[in-house]
Amino acid sequence: MRMAQGRLEVATAGQGFYELTSQAAAWVAEQGVGTGLLTLFIRHTSASLLIQENAAPEVRADLADFLSGLAPEDPSRWQHDDEGADDMPAHARAAMLPVQLSVPVAGGRLLLGTWQGIYVVEHRRRPHRREIALHLIGT
């Protein structure tokens, strides 16, 4: 059994979906593990990780609209606003989406479906640098 740990950094330009599938896949390939499990963990409270459709951009636009509707930037609704009007809505959206993902690995490759991609979901309006911890275990 082998284990490896690493980190990826994703620069965001504001709210949206930022695909990191190729970076994660390249990191897995560098580790020389043929069969195993990759765990990704985002180290932030106002961003999330998501496996989602990577072919039709309308899916991500619709999901962004859906999340905005669930946790709107309405100052009368939230108490916490230390970093602006998008602060608490970002935390609420992050609370609804995962901060950790597990992806099987076989043949040294991520076993994602044909149209699946791994995304950082940025819930804040301003740019951030998001750090994702990686842990790979396998043979």
Domain limits, the chain = 2-138
d(CA 106, CA 112): 10
**Which CATH superfamily, name and number, covers 2-138?**
YjbQ-like (2.60.120.460)
d(CA 120, CA 94): 11
| Per-residue pLDDT reduced to its tens digit, 29-47 | 999 999 999 999 999 999 9
| Per-residue pLDDT reduced to its tens digit, 41-92 | 999 999 999 999 999 999 999 999 999 999 999 888 999 988 888 999 999 9
Containing 31, the helix (H) or strand (E) segment is helix 21-31
Containing 70, the helix (H) or strand (E) segment is helix 57-70
What per-residue confidence (pLDDT) applies to 24? Answer: 98
Give the residue carrying structure tokens 């963990």. 41
d(CA 109, CA 80): 42
Its sign, for the CA torsion 115, 89, 15, 134, is negative
Round the average pLDDT of the chain to a whole number and report it. Answer: 96
